[in-house]
Amino acid sequence: MMRAMATDLPIRFDGVTIASRTVTLLDRVTLQIEAGAPTVFIGPNGSGKTTLLRTAMGLLVPTRGRITCGGVEKSPPIHRAFVFQRPAMLRRTVAGNLRYALRAARIAPAGREKRIEELLALVGLDGFEKRPARRLSGGEQQRLALARALARDPVVLFLDEPTASLDPASTKAIEDVIRAIAASGVKIVMSTHDLGEARRLAGEIILLHRGRIIERAAATEFLNSPKTEEARRFVAGELLV
Amino acid sequence: MLKRALLILVALAVLATSDAKAQEKSIVVASTTSTQDSGLFGYLLPIFKQRTGIDVKVVAQGTGQALDTARRGDADVVFVHAKSAEEKFLAEGFSLKRYPVMYNDFVLIGPQSDPAGVKGKDIVTALQVVKAKTAPFVSRGDRSGTHIAELNLWKEAGIDIAADKGPWYKEIGQGMGAALNMASVSNAYVLSDRGTWLAFKNRGDLAIAVEGDKRLFNQYGVMLVNPAKYPSVKKELGQQFIDWLVSPEGQKAIAGYKINGQQLFFPNASDPNA
Amino acid sequence: MHENASALQLIRAGDPALFATVRLSLIVSLSALAISAALGIPFGASIALTHFRGRESVIVLLNALMGLPPVVVGLAVYLLLSRSGLLGTLGILFTPAAMVIAQTILVTPILAALARQTIEDLWAEYSDELTAMNVGPLSRVTTLIWDGRFSLVVALLAGFGRAAAEVGAIIIVGGNINGFTRTMTTTIALETSKGDLALALGLGAVLIAIVIVINGLAWLARRVGERIAG
């Protein structure tokens, strides 16, 4: 797959805070996500992983600070795509969902049907075209959501705990696709609560806790010799409260 | 902006319901429910249509309402039976001429068993008895010709009904048919025009208690709405209708309308005192 | 309509007056439904999707308008369309167009309120995905309306039911003119007042049967649609 000039990267957070009157979800986060191997966020529930991903995508507006994608603030999500933890299936067939995503991405009508076939083959859903999307299993729906996200040929693909509710077989299927996509040049930015998955997929790992970045390092370095106290405890399997 | 939205709505509504056939040759006649319920129009209007090709659209309401409809300019001709109300209409300038057309009569209807014992009496005495015995009585209470006639009869009987009514006197504010339905169900007395009574199908236990009294005479008049007040009035077509009603042919047609062999309306267009 | 005939006899004889009455009832109610849908559904959808000051009050008002008393609407429209009224020059009082207008005013709030609820529920489900897919505001509305079409059909049936059953407004603005603005419901009212209760009941049964058939057709359309789309 040809990767044109990488728009939307790097993604820069400058002192980003997302807070309401009662709770702070992100606390003065500053980081830069570059093109390259997958960036995986880990941390306990409520640490801000989902919030950070959604903010990077442009679904949340920071209370303080700013975010730029490829140097542009508030850029429309044309080259970014998102796979939600529990993706919503449109009340259409599998092919219908993809057709909708292609239309939304303004892909020319001429190439749509072919692209649908390619995408379904990529995620292992060939033959599922006419199935009503809402009747798919959890794993199948997640794969469809992945195919849908890829319809717009994104530069950055966000995935929020994509295998959290899946059985091992489906998890493997999804991870295989993620690996393939990453290899083709798409920047993967995802979150997971499964350290094993981080080990399997990550190029770099970032630990979040209570809305703050605790540690960031290349995957093997993070997992084998974590530097901070929290990181060591988290890798050891302890609960971070 | 609201006005524009309303106009668009109107345009859509007209578009949705427009008929291919032109409705040019038609007039709106405001008349009374008693006249309609008697079936006279169903008999008379096809004859007129055949003769002249004019569609007569009858909007049937109580006399008071019919005259008000004409006062608002929503009718071309008004055809009712309350001379005093019609003369007021004339005096206000809403019409230039009143034509008497026909008469029928009112009858006092009541339960077959005649609990108040009014059978065979004259109408004034009968009403006095009804009040004395507080027998249930249904009044139309809707400013119709029948209602106005009923009020006049109470007055002739020396009774101030507005002041002296009690729970026995039920004012329903509806048409003749509804009044008869109510009387049938509650075994009450009610003043009705003969036409509606003859055509009425839900008689139950009701029958005529008093009839034939000269005071029960009910005169019909027809008037063209004054085009000076409302230029939209279809004055030629409306006048054609009136002229036909009072013509020998129209009068003969009116006399020809019968229910169960009984004539309902008696033409008297030529009577100067009508 | 013929005297002394029962509703069944009229149907068997193919009485033209009866069929003309049924035809007019359907034309008036279906026209009102179509216009109400065109006005009410997009309006309800946009309320569902936009947030503005006083939104809650608008929703409460919209729901309340579902209960507009028909006879009051009839009176208001009558005064508007009367020759002495604001729109008197149009001359459409006592015509089927006036009846369509009155019924549209009654049915639009029903469709708008129900559409708002349907679309709002669907939006709660779809908002993340549609926002992530960068779908524009107009496209969002059409997507939600299309995907919510089965629930919206139920709303349409509710609106149709209201229009088909209505008599208070159309008898005032239509004038119940024989052969011109007389519908099933106004005929039933008339025959009742003439004391022909048997005929009135018979016509009532015919009206109910027609409404059931229409609901049946809608159900059929839904089954076929579901099979195709899932």
- Tell me if C229 and A91 make a contact (CB, 8 A cut-off): yes
* pLDDT (mean) for A164-178: 92
Cβ-Cβ contacts under 8 Å, C80 against chain B: 6
ipTM of the complex, rounded to two decimals: 0.89
Query: What is the number of other CB atoms lying within 10 angstroms of the CB of residue B174?
Result: 18
C43 CA to chain B: closest CA distance, Å? 13
- CB–CB of A90 and C129 under 8 A? yes
Query: Considering chain A, what is the average pLDDT of its residues?
Result: 92
Q: Is B175 on the interface with C (CB under 8 A)?
A: yes
Q: Which residues of C touch B146 (CB under 8 A)?
A: none
C2 domain-assigned = no
C98: in domain:
yes
Mean pLDDT across A179-201: 94
- pLDDT value at residue A5: 52
Band (pLDDT 50/70/90 cuts) for residue B1 is low
Residue among C129, C134, C135 whose CB faces A88 most closely: C129
Which one of C128, C135, C139 has the shortest CB-CB distance to A84?
A: C128
- Rounded CA separation C41/C46 (Å): 9
Q: What is the pLDDT of residues B205-217, one digit of tens each?
A: 999 999 988 889 8
Query: How high is the pLDDT of residue C4?
Result: 55
Domain assignment present for C218: yes
pLDDT at B24: 72
pLDDT at B21 over 90: no
User: What's the rounded mean pLDDT across residues A67-92?
Assistant: 92
- Predicted confidence band at A1 (pLDDT cuts at 50, 70, 90)? very low
Å from C156 to nearest chain A CA? 20
| Model pLDDT, residue C13 | 78
Residues of C with CB under 8 A from a CB of A: 125-126, 128-135, 139, 143, 147, 229-230
**How much of chain A exceeds pLDDT 70, in percent?**
98
Looking at the partner chain, which of A82, A132, A134 has a beta carbon nearest the beta carbon of C132? A82
Q: Give a yes or no: residue C101 inside a domain.
A: yes
Min Cα separation A222/chain C (Å): 31
> pLDDT value at position B19?
59
Name which of C82, C92, C99 is nearest B72 (Cβ-Cβ).
C82
pLDDT band at B49 (very low <50, low <70, confident <90, very high): very high
Model confidence band, residue A187 (pLDDT cutoffs 50, 70, 90): very high
- C151 contacts in A (CB within 8 Å)? none
Option in C83, C97, C194 nearest B177 (CB): C194
- pLDDT at residue A2 in the model: 46
Contact A202, A219 (CB under 8 A): yes
Which A-chain residues 59-78 have CB contacts (< 8 A) with chain C? 59, 76-78
Residues of C in contact with B55 (CB under 8 A): 180
Task: Domain count for chain C, please give it.
Answer: 1
CB pair distance less than 8 Å for B16 and C27: yes
Give the residue among B39, B88, B61 at the shortest CA–CA distance from B173. B61
Helices C197-229 & C184-193 angle (0-180, nearest 10): 160
Residue B244, pLDDT above cutoff 70:
yes
Which CATH number covers residue C104?
A: 1.10.3720.10
Quote the CA–CA distance of C80 and A14 in Å, as a whole number.
62
User: Quick one: closest CA in A to C139, which residue?
Assistant: A104
Confidence (pLDDT) at B15: 77
Structure confidence by residue, pLDDT tens digits, A124-145: 999 999 999 999 999 999 999 9
Low-confidence ranges of chain C (pLDDT < 70): 1-5, 229-230
HEC-encoded secondary structure of chain B: CHHHHHHHHHHHHHHHHCCCCCCCCEEEEEEEHHHHHCCHHHHHHHHHHHHHCCEEEEEEECHHHHHHHHHCCCCCEEEECCHHHHHHHHHCCCEEEEEEEEEEEEEEEEECCCCCCCCCCCHHHHHHHHHHCCCCEEECCCCCHHHHHHHHHHHHCCCCHHHHCCCCEEECCCCHHHHHHHHHHHCCEEEEEHHHHHHCCCCCCEEEEECCCHHHEEEEEEEEECCCCCCCCCHHHHHHHHHHHHCHHHHHHHHCCEECCEECCEECCCCCCC
DSSP structure class, residue C89: G
Q: Residue C196's domain spans which residues?
A: 7-229
At C9 the pLDDT is 80
User: pLDDT at position B195, please?
Assistant: 83
Question: CA nearest C145 in A: which residue?
Answer: A91
If we measure between CA atoms, which residue out of A200, A219, A204, A196 comes closest to residue A33? A204
- Interchain CB contact of B132 with C (< 8 Å): no
Burial class (CB in 10 A: 0-12, 13-18, 19+), A192: buried
Q: In this complex, is the C-beta atom of B41 within 8 Å of any C-beta atom belonging to chain C?
A: yes
Of C135, C229, C230, the CB nearest to A104: C135
Give B28's strand partners: B57
CATH number attached to the domain at A11-87+157-235: 3.40.50.300
pLDDT of residue A29: 94
Decide: B66 and B78 in contact? Cβ < 8 Å: yes
Q: How far is C-alpha C19 from the chain's CA centre? A: 21
CA B197 to chain C, closest CA, distance in angstroms equals 9
| pLDDT tens digits, one per residue of A6-22 | 588 899 999 999 998 89
Answer yes or no: is C1 within a domain. no
Residues 145-204 of A with CB under 8 A from C: 148-149, 152
Residue C162 lies in a domain: yes
Distance CA C120, CA C45 (A): 8
Tokens 């020998």 sit on residue: B248
- Tell me the pLDDT band of A46, cut-offs 50, 70 and 90: confident
Q: What is the 3-state secondary structure (H, E, C) of chain A?
A: CCCCCCCCCCEEEEEEEEECCCCEEEEEEEEEECCCCCEEEECCCCCCHHHHHHHHHCCCCCCEEEEEECCEECCCCCCEEEECCCCCCCCCEHHHHHHHHHHHCCCCHHHHHHHHHHHHHHHCCCCCCCCEHHHCCHHHHHHHHHHHHHCCCCCEEEEECCCCCCCHHHHHHHHHHHHHHHHCCCEEEEECCCHHHHHHHCCEEEEEECCEEEEEEEHHHHHHCCCCHHHHHHHCCCCCC
Q: How far is B183 from chain C (nearest CA, A)?
A: 12
Strand A156-160, strand A187-191: pairing: parallel
Which of A7, A50, A89, A91 to mutate to test binding with chain C, by most C CBs within 10 Å of its CB? A91
Q: What is the pLDDT of residue B258?
A: 92
Q: Which domains does chain B have, with CATH numbers?
A: 25-104+219-267 (3.40.190.10), 105-216 (3.40.190.10)
List CB contacts (< 8 A) between B198 and chain C: none
Q: What are the boundaries of each domain within chain A?
A: 11-87+157-235
In this predicted structure, what is the pLDDT of residue A60? 92
Select from C84, C90, C177 the Cβ nearest to the Cβ of B73: C84
pLDDT in tens, B120-152: 899 999 999 999 999 999 999 888 888 989 999
Which of C89, C188, C193 best probes binding to B when mutated, by most B CB atoms within 10 angstroms?
C193
Segment A82-101, tens digit of pLDDT: 999 999 999 999 999 999 99
Given this model, what pLDDT does residue C209 score? 93
pLDDT attached to residue A4: 46
Whether B60 and B38 have beta carbons less than 8 Å apart is answered as no
* Out of A206-215, B17-26, B30-39, B107-116, least confident range: B17-26
